[in-house]
């Protein structure tokens, strides 16, 4: 298949593009101009802002994709409390622009819209994991913008009849994740402390939150399977189905590191109403695709540490 990946230079986009190429598919990426100058991606890349209708039209007509994985968008739940307009523009408006361009092109690729497990909001005490029928009760501007775009994606399968499958991934971790996200931030600080670049104190936000964590390398396999077998208009949760308290994740990482350190917890008051607990019921995904995660949390964390140590060593050698 000829696959077009929006957000191709991002954390998930790079892992997905690599997995698609390994499976024998042809990959072309879209990325915003600010992130598209990296020549290391290994596939053709168009510098396109999805709000630029003419540029999207041109890319679609040149690529003519069979499959389209829509990953691009605003992705930082915590920061969205301070910049909600950017979340709504980057998610809802950009996706509407993309769908309008696809309709205008006359092409009918299979589309995977990547939503978010945060659209469900907080689980009530004693509530089992969220399934796809759970109400959408987003707790952040980011999650609200994703919920709206999720519903837009369903509506577009009704009129004008685009072929869209929706997936609601829960939290993803893995090598090369941005340090804007908790586990990757822990890893970055640990490696800096090991190398003497930071005092022996690791500073964190609120560690009481519980997250369903899945290795990105597992998650992208679920995405590929969903475009192979998913029914247009349908929606699937994707996650490990297990909840990890972030304090325990940090303690697991510290046990793997080479030096002792203190931990200072500094909760961010702007995130006081953010979702505290998430857990996915992935029964539907497993039944439809046969997908199950292969990476344990411990393996993911070990690989993140190894990758960051290697990158840090290479950066030191290059100076």
Mean pLDDT of 110-131: 89
Domain ranges of the chain: 2-173+215-238, 182-210+242-279+294-314
Full-prediction pTM beyond 0.85? yes
Least confident of 14-28, 121-135, 263-277: 263-277
Compute the mean pLDDT over every residue in the chain, rounded to the nearest whole number. 92
Query: Do 168 and 231 form a contact (C-beta atoms < 8 A)?
Result: no
Q: What is the DSSP string of 38-81?
A: -TTS-S-EEE--TT-HHHHHHHHHHH--SEEEE--S---HHHHT
Least confident of 26-40, 81-95, 119-133: 26-40
Reply yes or no on domain 182-210+242-279+294-314 having CATH 3.40.50.1100.
no
Q: How far, in Å, CA of 147 to CA of 145, rounded?
A: 5
Q: What CATH number matches the domain at 2-173+215-238, 3.20.20.70, 3.40.50.720, 3.30.70.20, 3.40.50.300?
A: 3.40.50.720
Q: How many CB atoms lie within 10 A of CB 147?
A: 22
């Amino acid at each position: 298949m000829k696959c077009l990946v929006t957000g191709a230079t991002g954390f998930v986009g790079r892992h997905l593009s690599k997995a698609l190429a390994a499976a024998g598919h042809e990959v072309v990426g879209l990325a915003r101009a600010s992130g598209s100058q990296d020549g290391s991606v290994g596939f053709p890349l168009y510098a396109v802002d999805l709000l630029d209708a003419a540029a999207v039209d041109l890319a679609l007509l040149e690529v003519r994709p069979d499959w389209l994985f829509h990953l691009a968008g605003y992705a930082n739940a915590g920061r969205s409390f301070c910049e909600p307009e950017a979340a709504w523009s980057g998610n809802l408006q950009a996706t509407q622009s993309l769908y309008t361009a696809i309709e205008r092109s006359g092409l009918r690729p299979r589309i995977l819209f990547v939503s978010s497990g945060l659209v469900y909001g907080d689980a009530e005490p004693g509530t089992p994991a969220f399934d796809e029928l759970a109400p959408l009760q987003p707790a952040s501007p980011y999650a609200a913008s994703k919920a709206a775009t999720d519903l837009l994606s369903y509506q577009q399968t009704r009129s004008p009849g685009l072929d869209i499958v929706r997936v609601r991934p829960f939290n993803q971790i893995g090598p090369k994740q941005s340090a804007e996200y908790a586990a990757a931030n822990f890893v970055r600080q640990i490696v800096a402390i090991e190398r003497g670049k930071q005092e022996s104190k690791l500073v964190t936000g609120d560690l009481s939150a519980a997250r369903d964590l899945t290795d990105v390398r597992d998650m992208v396999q679920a995405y590929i399977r969903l475009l192979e077998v998913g029914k247009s208009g349908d929606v699937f949760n994707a996650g490990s189905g297990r909840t990890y308290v972030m304090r325990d994740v940090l303690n697991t990482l510290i046990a793997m590191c080479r030096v002792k350190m203190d931990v200072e917890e500094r909760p961010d008051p702007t995130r006081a109403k953010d979702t505290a607990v998430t857990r996915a019921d992935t029964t539907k995904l497993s039944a439809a695709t046969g997908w199950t995660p292969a990476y344990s949390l411990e393996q993911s964390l070990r690989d993140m540490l190894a990758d960051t140590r290697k990158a840090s060593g290479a950066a030191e050698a290059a100076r």
